[in-house]
Amino acid sequence: MNYMLKNENAIYYECGYSCDNSLYLSFGSESFFITDSRYTLDAKQHVKGTEVIIDRDLYGCAIKLIKKHKIKKIIFDPKEWSVAAFEQFTTHTKVKFKAVIDFSHKKRIVKRSDELKTLAKAAKLGTKAFDALAKAFNQNGFKQNEYTLTHTAKSILGSFGEYELSFDPIVAINANAAKPHATPTKSRLQKDDLLLVDAGLKYKRYCSDRTRTVQASKGFTFDTKQTFSRKKIQKAYDTVLKAHDNAISKARSGMKARKVDALTRDIITKAGFGEYYVHSTGHGVGLDIHEMPYISTKSDTIIEDGMVYTIEPGIYIPNEFGIRIEDMVAMVDGKAVVL
């Protein structure tokens, strides 16, 4: 199978190294990592099982290799390429290009044992970061706005520069939490406010992802057991937690992903909150924060051992509050294990 890759994480998966200016070509048993001279030392040190080529003209070099090896067909993922970049290949070669959307993600959907260990480590580090974040918010977070709280979250999650973040964390108070992908506002955290935090960090490039919703009373933690002053919020929270726990306990290898989605959605719908559950149950996690499998109402993907994905049901009532509880799980011996 012949294919070419441009995405950094896709390339890293193949040879153990990538950078922001590189191409990867695989021609059967031969593979090539092409980059420029800024990355010579790192590439030669870290690239595994692949020939490193240093050339300022990445595309020109790749085209020469294609012609030299008399390649007739190549798979590529159109999501990785701009029209201008791809046209260089179609203009200067006679190769038949086969577009396979999410080509690398499909290869990576079932994690190797070493990947599972790395993802578990990332998740555990993320959990420790949440514990540290709760302590920091209790000490200095009250009366601070969401911008400041988000900055604090970034610092603590990244261990002050030691780790990259999986994504920009979400720190949302009260009504702002009703937006699943809320951005910071000038709302200030007050005692007994609803507080939602969605965040993750990377360990050896692999992502973690976790969400907790709490009542920010004195000494609060990010445990899933939470008590809220308002009955409506408590009912919604208990419903989300029940849906979250149900999916984790009943998900099985061999199920279709949409069945796993139903394990959360049916509970939330029966409780009367169905219209406020506005996203899918989860998504795969790996080198990218969003990978296959997607746990949605329309997904026919068969869940298999080795897959890693989130369970993150939520209820979002506009202009009032939002609740989400999220954990990463790995399928092990047919069942979901929280990482």
- pLDDT tens digits, residue range 291-301? 999 999 999 99
Residues of the chain with pLDDT below 50 are none
Q: Scanning the structure block, which residue is given the tokens 């099985």? A: 252
Q: Report the pLDDT value the prediction gives residue 32, as an integer from 0 to 100.
A: 98
Q: Where would I find the H helices in 193-230?
A: none
Q: Report the pLDDT value the prediction gives residue 334, as an integer from 0 to 100.
A: 98
Q: Whole-model pTM?
A: 0.94
Alpha carbon distance 105, 185 (integer Å): 34
Q: Report the pLDDT value the prediction gives residue 160, as an integer from 0 to 100.
A: 83
- pLDDT tens digits, residue range 136-166? 999 999 999 999 999 999 999 999 889 999 9
Q: Report the pLDDT value the prediction gives residue 256, as an integer from 0 to 100.
A: 98
What percent of the chain is helix, strand and coil (3-state, nearest 5)? Answer: 40, 25, 35
Q: Report the pLDDT value the prediction gives residue 196, as an integer from 0 to 100.
A: 98
Domains and CATH numbers, the chain: 2-107 (3.40.350.10), 113-338 (3.90.230.10)
**Could you tell me if 30 and 10 are in contact, meaning their C-beta atoms sit under 8 angstroms apart?**
no
- pLDDT tens digits, residue range 223-234? 999 999 999 999
Q: Report the pLDDT value the prediction gives residue 7, as an integer from 0 to 100.
A: 97
Q: Report the pLDDT value the prediction gives residue 262, as an integer from 0 to 100.
A: 98
Closest CA to 201 of 243, 168, 163: 163
